[in-house]
């Protein structure tokens, strides 16, 4: 008698599991609410550009700094870009970089600071954006 009850209980559980599984596979509504997706071989990447660079200096001979105020804009898909800057003074090059996450059509302002030793003469800067 106990075996018969145990078999009945196991059978009932299996039927319930089977019915739950089937309802997940076959939606009850004929209304198509999900969107069709298609795969694409085209990769959409960020398309960053440097909008402006403003260089300022501060400090004294032993603690001299150049700061680049950089504005970048992303015209492509959202993603992380790498802003790389280099500062050249009397043949000596200092470089710095910063990753930035930008949404589509979003702009971002950032500062990169370069510690320098006063070497006399002017300095030049170069800023570029890279999609890693």
Digit-coded pLDDT (tens) for 100-112: 999 999 999 999 9
Contact (CB, 8 A) for 65 and 114 = yes
**How far, in Å, CA of 82 to CA of 20, rounded?**
49
The whole-number pLDDT of residue 9 equals: 74
What's the mean pLDDT in 119-127?
81
Predicted TM-score of the model (pTM): 0.65
pLDDT digits (tens, 9 = 90+) for 66-88: 899 999 999 999 999 999 999 98
Query: What's domain 48-130's architecture?
Result: Sandwich (2.60)
Residue in 119, 127, 57 with CA at minimum distance from that of residue 92: 119
- Cross-strand bridge partners of residue 58: 65
Q: How many C-alpha atoms does 69 have within 13 Å on its Cβ side?
A: 4
Residue keyed to tokens 């800067």 = 125
Which percentage of the chain shows pLDDT scores above 70? 78
Of 27 and 8, more confident: 8
């Amino acid at each position: 008698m106990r075996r018969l009850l145990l078999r009945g209980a196991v059978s009932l559980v299996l039927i319930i599991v089977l019915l739950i599984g089937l309802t997940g596979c076959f939606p009850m509504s004929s209304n198509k609410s999900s969107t069709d997706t298609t795969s694409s071989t085209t990769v959409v990447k960020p398309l960053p550009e440097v909008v402006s660079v403003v260089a300022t200096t501060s400090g004294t001979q032993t603690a001299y700094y150049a700061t680049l105020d950089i504005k970048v804009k992303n015209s492509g898909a959202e993603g992380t870009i790498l802003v790389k800057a280099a500062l050249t003074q009397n043949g000596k090059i200092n470089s710095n970089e910063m990753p930035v996450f930008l949404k589509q059509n979003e702009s971002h302002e950032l500062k990169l600071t370069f510690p320098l030793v006063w070497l006399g003469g002017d300095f030049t800067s170069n800023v570029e954006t890279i999609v890693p």
